[in-house]
Amino acid sequence: MRVKKVLLRTLVSVPLLVFCTGGLHAQTAQNSAHAIPKTSEQVYKNIQVLKGVPADQFIPAMQFIAASLGVQCDFCHIENAFDKDDKETKQTARKMMRMMFTINKDNFEGHQEVTCFACHRGARKPMIIPSVNQDDVKVAEEEKTRPEETVGLPAAEQIVAKYLQAIGGAEAVAKISTRIQKGTLTVGAKSFPVEVLAQAPARRITTVGFPGGDSVTGINGAEGWLSTAGRAPHEMGPSELDAAKLDAELFFPTYLKQIFRELRVQKRELLDGKQAYVVLGMREGQLPVELYFDEESGLLLRMQRYTETPVGRNPTQIEFADYRSEGGVKTPFRWTVARPNGRFTIQIEQMQQSIPIEENRFAKPPVAPPSS
């Protein structure tokens, strides 16, 4: 049971298996895509600090806190009774959140400059004494690009053009309308069968075969859902849907320029022994996305996106590797998804492209109404 729970917590994102957040999700409201988003206190019990926060940001906020302190849910919560206040650590967490909000309000005009991680750095107790070994301290990078870092670098348009050429050319890539991939998803030492069905521009179904039944993450244009064996499907909230849609769109590189209203070169960075250009993708009303392109080959090596929460930004990093040419187009056959609370790797073993996929494979299953 313990191993299963660890696996589920790690798999929060395949791209977004939010069903894997313990018992909290059971209280989640089944909102339609056109309904007014509910707040945390309308969906979860005993909310005292994060009132008014969109419900779909609540679980990511809990994950951010857990990652900042290097703990799991049971550090503050009682299993299967998350709303209870029996643990002192839960009361302390509430005080710390209030303190953090006050600091940002009084000193930074309400901007999110101070977070849990700013002091805790992955430890239960904040660091109050400077470390002798500077390698133990990770200093956050400035978000703004320094002018000297972009001197002599190619323009973003040139980097993207080289990427499209590296994977086979824009014309060849545009001909790929569907992908069917089968392989394994590995978490730690355990592997499970996985199937990915995709259709351009933003339809994608990922099915993971766990011993107790399949876990499915699906997006069909403007709708997204998640399901696990024995539980009614859960409809994605706005932030979940945005992340799933971005992952689905980037599965077909032709749409890169349509996804981002602006592409801006940030810097050159060494990534696993390779020099890479870091390009910032800007989207209207969304957080920037960092794209890492191999300077030599032009291939996309990494994507890093962020989810906004009321206590800080949760990063999701996707590493692309094992590029192989299929149908004249190079495609990564391995990608690793990493978040503060864990990581998993998908290794593709079989792939078919541009073949018909039945329409019902992308149909959203009926979402059960919330119990009264």
> What does pTM read for this prediction?
0.78
What mean pLDDT comes out for the span 292-315? 92
Distance CA 18, CA 51 (A): 21
Tokens of 371: 């119990």
DSSP code, position 133: S
| Dihedrals phi, psi of 173, to nearest 5 degrees | -65, -40
- Taking the CA atoms of residue 43, residue 46, residue 50 and residue 54 in that order, the dihedral angle to the nearest 10 degrees is 0
pLDDT, position 301: 96
- Mark out the alpha helices in the chain (DSSP H runs): 2-10, 40-43, 55-69, 88-107, 116-120, 156-166, 170-174, 238-250, 256-259
pLDDT, position 204: 95
Confidence of residue 290 (pLDDT cuts 50, 70, 90): very high
Q: Which fold has domain 2-136?
A: Photosynthetic Reaction Center, subunit C; domain 2 (1.10.468)
Distance CA 200, CA 177 (A): 5
pLDDT for 135 beyond 70: no
Class of residue 45 by CB neighbours under 10 A (exposed 0-12, middle 13-18, buried 19+): exposed
Radius of gyration of the chain (CA): 21
The answer to whether 246 touches 259, Cβ cutoff 8 Å, is: yes
Q: Where is pLDDT greater, at 100 or 179? A: 179
Tokens of 328: 């004249």
Tokens of 178: 């569907």
Confidence of residue 16 (pLDDT cuts 50, 70, 90): very low
- Which has the minimum average pLDDT: 121-130, 241-250, 274-283, 310-319? 121-130
Distance CA 184, CA 346 (A): 6
Angle between the N-to-C axes of helices 55-69 and 238-250, in degrees from 0 to 180, rounded to the nearest 10: 80
pLDDT, position 131: 62
Q: Where in the chain is the domain with CATH 1.10.468.10?
A: 2-136
What mean pLDDT comes out for the span 20-45? 56
Tokens of 42: 């309308």
pLDDT, position 21: 31
Nearest Cα to Cα of residue 183 among 170, 197, 172: 197
Which helix (H) or strand (E) element contains residue 325? Answer: strand 312-326
Tokens of 137: 């301290």
Q: Which fold has domain 151-362?
A: outer membrane lipoprotein receptor (LolB), chain A (2.50.20)
Q: Where in the chain is the domain with CATH 2.50.20.10?
A: 151-362
Residues 238-278 have pLDDT tens digits of 888 888 888 888 888 888 888 898 999 999 999 989 999 99
Nearest Cα to Cα of residue 68 among 33, 110, 116: 116
Tokens of 104: 């940002």
Q: Where is pLDDT greater, at 140 or 130? A: 130
Confidence of residue 132 (pLDDT cuts 50, 70, 90): low
pLDDT, position 12: 39
Unique residue bearing structure tokens 């002192």: 88
Residues 191-228 have pLDDT tens digits of 999 999 999 989 999 999 999 899 999 999 888 999 88
pLDDT, position 63: 83
Confidence of residue 336 (pLDDT cuts 50, 70, 90): very high
Nearest Cα to Cα of residue 18 among 176, 168, 215: 215
pLDDT, position 31: 40
